[in-house]
Amino acid sequence: MKVLVTGGAGFIGSHTVVELLSEQHETLILDNYRNSSPEAVRRVRELSNGRVTAQEADILDTQNLSCIFAEFQPDAVIHFAGLKAVGESTMNPLLYYRQNIEGAISLLEAMDRNGCSDIVFSSSATVYGEPDYLPLDEAHPLRPANPYGKTKYFIEEMLRDWCAADKHKSAIALRYFNPVGAHASGRIGEDPNGIPNNLMPFISQVAVGKRERLKIFGNDYDTHDGTGVRDYIHVVDLARAHVAAVNALVRIDGFEPVNLGTGQGYSVLDVLHAFEKASGRTIAHAFAPRRPGDVAASYADPTRARQLLGWKAELGLDEMCISSWNWQRQNPDGYAGS
């Protein structure tokens, strides 16, 4: 299939393009490099024997998008492009509503103009908000607690209506839990700007000597060791789920939300200890107050992904830590260091 990948130079997009190419799909990356680097595309090209095409473009430019669609004629779209920082979205909500929601509208309009009716969308487990029960299944009520999460929720609703208006349309919204890890080669990985907000890149930067110590936000949660529990999922597993979703679009009509997680929760201390084992380094850490907006525990019921996509996560916490360390060690300054 011909797959247009918006945000394909980013963390999850770059890994997904590698997997799409290894399954013989033809891909076109479309990215404005707002939060990524052309170096990521160069490395994807290196990992896939040069078969990647990429175009610098902004998804908000519907006219240009439409021309790109007319030329490439994709069978399906995977839509990663967007902004993703929860804290920034709280401080600048209109930026998030414009970039994420208007970006999605622009993309769907370009698809409509060019007869493309199949899309896989990057949603997030953040659409669930504070869990009523665990594990979280797709029927759990949706109550996102910040503007970023609300953009994911609104785009899901838009996709539901877009599909309802035309029975030939299909949209799969993949609700990711906590994506971590890197490609086994160590050539592509997560390259956050500035001080990382997320746990795994922060731990990796402590291990490599770029940060002094990890602050653990809260050790008084009602969890097995008092620290927050999450469902970490290896980015390569996540990437393979996108390939499964693209393949499933042909047999699915309408809108389908699907959780992507392992179903297994690990605490901050579990991750820290696994990373120490993977890297052979001690991770200096200190306990700090809870981070506002954090929940005690969140993990997926991944049954639907198995039923609908024939996919389940294969890689465990050790592989997540080994690959994160391998990437960090080889690229202490991310893509900027090359």
Which of ligand NAD, ligand UFG, none does 197 bind, CB closer than 5 to 8 A by kind? Answer: ligand UFG
d(CA 183, CA 256): 28
Q: Is the peptide bond before 192 cis (omega within 30 degrees of 0)?
A: no
| 89/107 Cα distance (integer angstroms) | 21
Q: CB-wise, 71 or 166, nearer to ligand NAD?
A: 71
Which one among 3, 4, 12, 214 touches ligand NAD, defined by CB under 6 A?
A: 12
CB of 177 to ligand NAD, least distance (A): 8
Tell me whether strands 2-6 and 232-234 are parallel, antiparallel or unpaired: unpaired
Q: Contact with ligand UFG (CB under 6 A): which of 291, 318, 333, 338?
A: 291
**What is the rounded distance in angstroms from the CA atom of residue 260 to the CA atom of residue 125?**
9
Beta carbons of 94 and 145 less than 8 angstroms apart:
no
Residue 43 touching ligand UFG (CB under 6 A): no
- Smallest distance from ligand NAD to CB 165, Å: 24
Measure the CA–CA gap between 274 and 58, rounded to whole angstroms: 39
Strand partners, 4: 28, 77
- What single letter denotes the amino acid at residue 155? I
Tokens of 247: 């393949």
Task: Select the binding partner of residue 268 from ligand UFG, ligand NAD, none (C-beta < 5 to 8 A, by kind).
Answer: ligand UFG
**Taking CB under 6 A as the rule, which mask of x and - marks residues 86-105 in contact with ligand UFG?**
x-------------------
Cβ partners under 8 Å of residue 280, min gap 6: none
C-alpha 312/C-alpha 248 separation (Å) is 14
DSSP code, position 331: -
Q: Which residue is nearest to ligand UFG (CB)?
A: 228
> In the stretch 173-212, what mask flags binding to ligand UFG with x, by CB under 6 A?
---xxx------------------xxx--x----------
Q: Rounded to the nearest whole angstrom, what is the least distance from the CB of residue 66 to ligand NAD in the complex?
A: 14
Among 103, 129, 149, 334, binds ligand NAD (CB under 6 A): 103
**What is the spatial distance between Cα 289 and Cα 156, in angstroms, rounded to a whole number?**
33
Round to the nearest angstrom and report the end-to-end CA distance of the chain: 33
What is the CA 91 to chain-centroid distance, rounded?
22
Catalytic sites, residue numbers: 148
Of the two residues 74 and 302, which places its CB atom closer to ligand UFG in the complex?
Answer: 302
Shortest-Cβ-distance residue relative to ligand NAD: 10
The option from ligand UFG, ligand NAD, none interacting with 31 (CB < 5 to 8 A, set by class) reads ligand NAD
Task: Return the residue of 17, 20, 59, 171 that touches ligand NAD, per CB under 6 A.
Answer: 59
Is residue 18 helix, strand or coil?
helix
Residue 72 phi/psi, 5-degree rounding, is: -80, -30
Q: Is 147 in the site for ligand NAD (CB under 6 A)?
A: no
Is there binding between residue 331 and ligand NAD (CB under 6 A)? no
Residues at the site binding ligand UFG, with contacts judged by CB under 6 A: 84, 86, 124-126, 176-178, 197-199, 202, 214-217, 228, 230, 268, 291, 294
Residues at the site binding ligand NAD, with contacts judged by CB under 6 A: 6-7, 9-13, 31-36, 58-60, 80-82, 84, 99, 103, 122, 124, 176, 179
